[in-house]
Amino acid sequence: MAGRGRGGKTGSLTAEQMQALGCVGKDMPQVQSAPPPTFPPVLNKPITLETTTAQSYQLLWKEDFLNRMRDSPYYIISASQEKKKTDVKDWREKAIQRLKHRAQAEFNYKAMPRELNSTSRKRTAAELRPKQVAKKNKNIEDRLKQLEQKELKSGAGAGGDNDNDEAKQESDSEREDEQEDPEAALDDEMDEENDYANDYFDNGEAYNEEDDNMDDGPVY
Amino acid sequence: MSADYADLCSAILEQCFGKVVQSVADCLFSATTRTLSQIVSSTNFSRKEVGLALSVLIKFRLVNFEPSKSNAYLPEYSLRREDVICLLRYSRYIHLVQSKYGNVGASIAEELLNSGSDTATSILLKCLSNGENKSETAESYKNILLKMIADHYIIKSPELITSEEGDDLVPRFLTNECDFFVPPIIDLQLLAKIQKGESTLSNAQDSAMVWHLNYDRFHQEFRDDIMKIAIERKLGENAAECFRFILNIMYNTTDPWQRRVSNQVTYVEIKQTIERKSNNLDLLKHLDQYIALITDDSLGFLRKVGDMGGGQYVVDMESSFESLAFACVESVITERFGSKAARIFRVIRFKKFIEQEDLQKEAMIPAKEAKSLAYNLFQEQFIHVKVIKKAGGGGSGPAKAFYLFQIKTKDTVRMLLDVCYKALYNIIRRSNFEKSEHKGLIEKSQRLDSIVETMKERGESEDYIAEIVETFTPPECEILNKVKHRIKTLSKAELTLDDTIFLLQMYQHHCTTLPTGIQKFK
C-alpha cells in the first residue's frame, strides 16, 4: 500500500506511486545519493530589471539611510569587538571614529523600563556620595570646635569635671549626628542597589523541597 | 514565522544596528517573551550593552515590553517580528510621502523614522535645523505635519501614564482609540523662541504627545496601488479612476483591513461621488459600462450582490488577491520552468484535481515532457498530490488508488514567501560580502573624491587635480565600477523582491485566517 507510515509529506514518492503518476522505466528520475551542491548551477539566467525613477530615488535614499544608521549612536559596537579593531587602526582612523560617535543617542527613558537606563542609576549614586562626605566634614569641624572649647575649659577649670564634660559633649555630638543622619539613612534605604525586594524573584523551585528530603528517608 | 524569516530579520537588524542588537533580537525572536537577565545570560554581552540594545529596539518600536505576570516589577520583552521587515520598506514610505506631500513631507517622515517616535514640536525643530529646504517656513512644515496626521500617515503613540509616586519600574501606557489622530497644538512662537535659544523644548505644550509613522496606512496605500495598477493595465485608465472612487467610498464604511470582502457600495453612491469630484466626461458617460467591465473581469475585484440603489457591489479582496498572487506565482513558474510548466500549473488550478494522463491531454504537451515538468513542479512544491484509495483489495496485490495532482493554494504561497525571504537574506549577505571584500577600494575612492572636492573649492589647477585623480589606476577603477554595479543590482533586486513579498503577504491577510500582524491601529 502506498504512503508507508506517516511519510505523507516527505516530498518523495514510493515506486508504486511513481508508477501511478506515470514515471516508469527510463522516465524515473535519478535517486539522489549525495546532498545537493551548495551552489547549484543556475539553469536559466534571470532577466535584468529596468530601473524606474521611483526605484532610483528609493535606492539612493536607502543607501544614505544605511550609511546614516552606521554612523549613528544606535549602531552599537560591542566593547570586545571595538578593542580588536583599535589594535589595527592608526591614530587617524581612531580620530575619525571618535568624530563619528560624537552624536549623542537620545532615549526617552521615561517610556522604557527603568532597568534599561544605565545612566540614571549612576547619577543618583554620584549625587549621594558627595552629600555624605560634606556632612562628615561639617561634623568634623563641629567636633574640632568642641574639642577646642573643651581644651580651653579644661585648661581653666578643675580636672574632676573633665570626664563628665567630655562624656556630655560626646553624647551631645552624637545626638546631633543622629539628628542629621536620618536623611542619609533614608537615602541609603532608597538606594536601588540595596533594595533587594526589586530584584527578588521566586521561580518556585524551592517549593515542595521538603518533600524531596522526605524521600531520602527519615533523619535520625 | 519560518527559519528563513528569522535569518532575514537577523540580517536586516545587523545591517541597521550592528552585532549586539542582532544577537539580542535573535534571542528574542526564538521566544515569546524574555527578561533582561535571561537575554544577558544567553547572549554573552554585558548587562549595559544589552540594555542599550533593548533601548534602541524599543526606540525604533521593534520591541514591546510588559510587566511579567508573576512579578509586576519585572519587565518582559518581546520582538515585533512582523515589523522588522518594515525597516526594508523605509525607502518606499519616504518615496510615497515625497510624492504626496513634497520634500517638506519627506523630511518630516525622515525625522520620524530616524527618531522612532517624537513630539510634534521636536520633529519640526529638527526639520528646521537640518534645513534641507531653507525656503520653507515653519508654518508650512506645521501645516504638512497636521495634514499627514489628518490623513492617518502619522499616528499618536499610546500615552504614558504618570503615577503619583513619580516613576514606575515598568512604565504603563494608555491607548485611547478616539484621539489617535487628534491634531496637536503647535505653538509657532515658542518654536521660534526655542530656535533662538530663548526657551527649551520642555516648555512645549505637547510634550506628552508622542507621534510615530503609521506603517499600516502606508501598506493600505501600497495595496490599493497594486489593485489600481492592475485595473489600469488590464482595463484602461478610466476604469482605474472609477475603481479609485469605489475604494474611497468603500473606506467610509469599511475597516481598511477587513479580511475577505468589503461592506456594500451602491451604484448611486458611486455615480454621485464621481459626478461631484471628477471631470472625466468619458467616465461619467459610460459609468455603468465601466462598472460592468470591472465586475465581469476575471480578476474579480468587484462583485454584484444585489439590486438595491441601482445595484449593490462589494469589493472582493479575497478573490482579487487570489488572482493577483497566482498571477505572480505563474510568472515565477514561467521564469523558472518555462511557459509549458506554467500551462500545466494553470490546467491543474483550473481543474482542481487531475490525473497524470488527463493532464497531458488537457495541457496538450507530449507525455514525456508533461511528466517531467509536473514532477519538477511537484519537487519544488508548487503542486501537490492527493491520494484517493479504493476500498478493498484484500491482501492480494496492491490496492487500487488514484493519484491526483492538485494545488494547495495556501501552501504554495507560503512556500514562495519563504523562498523570497531566503532570497532576500542571500542578497543582503552577498552585498555585505561585496562591500567588505572591496572595502579598501571603496574607502580609497571616497577619500579621493573628498580630496578632489576640497581642491576644487580651493581653486587649484586642473592639471594638479588630474594628477591626483590618476592615483586611482584604471584597473582599480574597473574593479570598483564592477563592484558598484553588482551592489546596485543587488539592492534593486531587494526592492523588487519586497514588492513580491508584500503582494504575497496581502494574499495571506485577505485569503487566509492566519495571523498577519496587520491591525487597524498599532
What pLDDT digit, counting tens, does each position of B7-41 carry? 999 999 998 888 888 999 988 998 888 888 888 88
Was domain B3-80 assigned CATH 3.20.20.70?
Answer: no
Q: Is B187 helix (H, G, I), strand (E, B) or coil?
A: coil
Was domain B320-407 assigned CATH 3.40.50.620?
Answer: no
Interface test with B, best of A4, A21, A63 (most B CBs within 10 A): A21
Q: Is B156 helix (H, G, I), strand (E, B) or coil?
A: strand
From residue B399, give the alpha-carbon distance in Å to each of A14, B353, B384, B490.
14, 21, 21, 53
From CA B379, how far away is CA B372, in angstroms rounded? 10
Of A3, A16, A59, the CB nearest to B491: A59
CB contact under 8 A, A63 and B491: yes
Query: In chain A, how long is the greatest CA-to-CA distance?
Result: 128
Helix (H) or strand (E) holding B387: strand B384-389
Question: What is the fold, at CATH topology level, of the domain defined by B218-315?
Answer: Arc Repressor Mutant, subunit A (1.10.10)
Q: Chain B residues with CB inside 8 Å of A69's CB?
A: 15-17
Q: Is B3 helix (H, G, I), strand (E, B) or coil?
A: helix
Backbone angles phi, psi at B163, to 5 degrees: -90, 170
Q: What is the pLDDT of residues A147-191, one digit of tens each?
A: 888 888 776 554 444 455 555 555 454 454 444 444 444 444 444
| Domain chopping of chain A, boundaries | 53-100, 114-190
Q: Name residue, grid cell 503619583.
A: B164
Of A2, A11, A54, the CB nearest to B95: A54
CB contact under 8 A, B399 and A51: no
CATH code for residues B86-213: 1.10.10.10
From residue B492, give the alpha-carbon distance in Å to each of B194, B263, B495.
42, 38, 5
Q: Chain A residues with CB inside 8 Å of B379's CB?
A: 11
Helix (H) or strand (E) holding B405: strand B401-406
CA-derived radius of gyration, chain A: 39
Q: Are residues B508 and B516 in contact, defined by beta-carbon separation less than 8 angstroms?
A: yes
Of A11, A49, A78, the CB nearest to B49: A78
Low-confidence ranges of chain B (pLDDT < 50): 522
The pLDDT of residue A112: 78
Supply B410's cell numbers: 495556501
Alpha-carbon distance B170 to nearest alpha carbon in chain A (angstroms): 4
Q: What is the mean pLDDT of each run of 10 residues along chain A (220 residues)?
A: 47 67 62 80 77 86 86 77 53 57 67 72 46 58 83 62 50 48 46 52 57 50
